[in-house]
Amino acid sequence: MQNKENTVNETEIYEVGYHIMPSVPEEKLPLEVSAIESAIVSKNGGVMIASEAPSKIELAYTMAKKVGATRHKCDEAYFGWFKFEMSPANINALKAFLDAQDNVLRFLLIKTVRENTIVGDKLLAAEKEALAPKEEAKVEKAVVTEAELDKTIDELVKA
């Protein structure tokens, strides 16, 4: 059985995917991203593994967020993600920070693995090739005369 000291010092690998409100101007987007990164690294002792800068996407459905007395409905948002290593003891503080951000429409925080799980172009091409229908080998067909065909049919009918 592990003691409490060992579990506090252990870290886990996490990934947070986030949507930033589309009302944020593109020139202020780096400020929002750096605030999230700072909450992970500086404030909660996380170590960055990988990330993707946010880009504007169309949402699958309309999402709403209440900011103050106003309810904002969004059909698009900026989507980005961070993969990082952090002590599980600090995760609740990160969640609270993200919940409090007016410009974060939604976020999803999950445990994951360190390895890159994104399929590369070469692997994807090899997989497509393996799944593609194979060309059938061309088989030369023997030419059968009408007399041979009639004879074969007669033999089958008599049997």
Quick one: average pLDDT of 66-85? 93
Q: Is the pLDDT of residue 69 over 50?
A: yes
Q: Where are the domains of the chain?
A: 1-159
pLDDT of residue 14: 96
pLDDT of residue 105: 95
Q: Is the pLDDT of residue 137 over 80?
A: no
Q: How high does pLDDT run on average in the chain?
A: 85
Does 1-159 carry CATH code 3.30.70.60? yes
Is 57 within 8 Å of 79 (Cβ atoms)?
A: yes
Is 29 within 8 Å of 120 (Cβ atoms)?
A: no
